[in-house]
């Protein structure tokens, strides 16, 4: 017989929490967790395999604790004059964000984000012992610089998460908002650019704000644009002193030699790895236009997904799509559903399935 969770001497602050649980159902069309549904191109996969095979020869030894080659790879990829002393990486950007919270949040402290935003921020915050403060967004999920600064100044959080562009809404965030929040915040400001590669090319990343802002952190991931979700590689850029703080909380050798080898090899092929981004952007825009034509209200998206409103009963529509072999996400926003842009075929399957259901409100 198995014990119940309530019977265990669990930390009081974890009682009643629910784990992250996006369904992993074996459906033909899975567009629910904002993955890149295109596989890694064969030519890159061959190189990654060679690099992993080489790393295997030394797998009896602990890996490079400082993942030097990988940090250099990220510095090259990001540009903006960054050097490896300003780079950090971990097993997915979730772990990167956890490191930030372990170093700068923790018991008695607070973290803040403008809701609705990435569902892991509150979970990571609470699991590392801090409290979560939810700010609010304005019209169409945007935040203005003045309002954002006012909310942050009032909350005085130790860590602020700015998801730019935002998940689950797709909403862009302009640099003046980030600057205003930084000036108003007493603590660390994390700009989570997990979806940055899907933003318009002529827009400026928060990386351009890093000089002279030692409390600013910009995080990225290889999970989305790089089609590397299964390899678990996220990273951030910040002042070298921030990186030193993260060294205090990471587990020794947290990035396996195989992960380092695979990610470093993939980065040397960045243009090929990113080849599918334009195709995904085209599918995202097609979703926006088609759901609008079907009578729903898509929100502006700078990501690889679309949040659309006007759904009478999201749970019912979600199930009807599921029954047609299409998995999307009910993110808990009334009358809304979120769908990831897939390959052309997957996107067509979703749009055809949605068109066959009358679920407008
Ligand atoms: C905004 C945002 N940040 C971070 C992540 C985590 O990505 P990973 O841990 O795969 O790098 C996600 C994943 O969906 C996300 O949407």
Q: DSSP for 266-281? A: HHTTHHHHTTTHHHHH
Maximum distance among all Cα pairs of the chain, rounded to whole angstroms: 59
Both tokens of 279, joined, read 């195709």
Distance 118 CA to ligand 1 centre (A): 8
pLDDT of residue 23: 80
Q: What is the CATH number of domain 42-272?
A: 3.40.640.10
Q: What pLDDT does 274 receive?
A: 86
Please choose from 30, 120, 301, 340 the residue to mutate so as to test ligand 1's pocket, defined by most ligand atoms within 8 A of CB.
120
The Cβ of residue 246 has, within 10 Å, a number of other Cβ atoms equal to: 20
Give yes or no for a contact between 298 and 308, defined as CB atoms under 8 angstroms apart.
Answer: yes
Answer whether 111's CB lies under 8 Å from 123's CB: no
Alpha-carbon distance 324 to 357, whole Å? 10
Residues 6+ apart with CB under 8 A from 31: 37, 305, 326, 327, 328, 339, 340, 341, 342, 346, 347, 350
Q: What is the pLDDT of residue 25?
A: 83
Q: Which residues of the chain have pLDDT under 50?
A: none
Residue among 194, 195, 219, 231 whose CB has most ligand 1 atoms within 8 A, to mutate: 194
Residue nearest to atom 2 of ligand 1 (CA): 194
Percent above pLDDT 90 for the chain: 92
Q: Pull the structure tokens for residue 144.
A: 């203005």
Tokens 């009334």 label which residue? 334
Give 5-40+275-355's CATH code, choosing from 3.40.50.970, 3.40.50.12780, 1.10.760.10, 3.90.1150.10: 3.90.1150.10
pLDDT of residue 5: 87
CA distances in angstroms from 344 to 39, 280, 347, listed in the order given: 14, 8, 5
CB-based burial, 26-64: b 16+ in 10 Å, e otherwise: ebebbbbbbbbbbebeeebeebbeebbeebeeeeeeebe
Q: What is the DSSP string of 295-342?
A: T-EEPP-SSSEEEEE-BS-HHHHHHHHHHTTEE-B--S-TT-EEEE--
Q: Using CA positions, which residue lies closest to atom 3 of ligand 1?
A: 194
List residues near ligand 1 (CB under 6 A): 34, 92-94, 118, 163, 167, 192, 194, 221, 223, 229, 234
3-state secondary structure of 344: helix
Pairs from 283-289 (Cβ < 8 Å, separation ≥ 24) = 283/341, 283/342, 283/343, 283/344, 283/347, 284/198, 284/341, 286/341, 286/347, 286/351, 287/339, 287/341, 287/347, 287/350, 287/351
Interhelix angle 277-293/344-355, nearest 10 degrees: 10
Instruction: Check residue 258 and give its pLDDT.
Output: 98
Q: Which atom of ligand 1 is nearest to the CA of 34?
A: 14
**Which atom of ligand 1 lies at the shortest distance from residue 223's CA?**
10
Pairing of strands 110-115, 159-163: parallel
What 8-state DSSP symbol labels residue 165? S
Give the number of other CB atoms < 10 A from CB of residue 14.
11
Domain-by-domain residue ranges, the chain? Answer: 5-40+275-355, 42-272
Structure tokens at 171: 């909403």
Distance 195 CA to ligand 1 centre (A): 8
Give the model's pLDDT for residue 197. Answer: 97
């Amino acid at each position: 017989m198995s014990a119940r969770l309530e019977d265990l001497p669990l930390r009081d602050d974890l009682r009643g929490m629910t784990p992250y649980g996006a369904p992993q159902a074996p459906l033909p069309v899975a567009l629910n967790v904002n993955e890149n549904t295109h596989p890694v191109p064969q030519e890159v996969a061959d190189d990654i395999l060679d690099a992993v095979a080489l790393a295997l020869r030394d797998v009896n030894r602990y890996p490079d604790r400082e993942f030097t080659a990988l940090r250099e790879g990220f510095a090259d990829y990001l540009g903006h004059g960054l050097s490896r002393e300003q780079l950090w990486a971990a097993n997915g950007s979730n772990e990167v964000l956890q490191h930030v919270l372990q170093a700068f949040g923790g018991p008695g402290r607070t973290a803040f984000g403008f809701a609705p935003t990435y569902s892991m921020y509150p979970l990571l915050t609470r699991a590392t012992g801090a409290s979560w403060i939810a700010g609010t967004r304005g019209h169409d999920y945007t935040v203005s610089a003045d309002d954002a600064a006012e909310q942050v100044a009032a909350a005085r959080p130790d860590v602020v998460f700015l998801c730019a562009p935002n998940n689950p809404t797709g909403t862009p965030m302009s640099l003046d908002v980030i600057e205003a929040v930084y000036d108003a915040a007493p603590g660390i400001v994390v700009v989570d650019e997990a979806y940055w590669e899907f933003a318009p090319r002529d827009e400026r990343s928060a990386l351009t704000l890093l000089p002279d802002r030692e409390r600013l952190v910009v995080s990225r991931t290889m999970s989305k644009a790089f089609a590397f979700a299964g390899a678990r590689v996220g990273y951030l850029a910040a002042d070298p002193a921030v990186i030193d703080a993260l060294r205090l909380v990471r587990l020794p050798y947290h990035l396996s030699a195989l992960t380092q080898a695979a990610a470093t090899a993939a980065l040397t092929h960045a243009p090929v790895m990113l080849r599918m981004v334009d195709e995904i952007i085209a599918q995202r825009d097609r979703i926006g236009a088609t759901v609008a034509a079907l009578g729903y209200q898509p929100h502006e998206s700078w990501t690889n997904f679309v949040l659309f409103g006007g759904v009478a009963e999201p749970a019912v529509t979600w199930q009807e799509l599921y029954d047609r072999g299409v998995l999307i996400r009910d993110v808990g926003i009334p009358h809304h559903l979120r769908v990831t842009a897939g390959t052309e075929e997957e996107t067509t399957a979703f749009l055809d399935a949605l068109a066959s259901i009358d679920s407008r409100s």
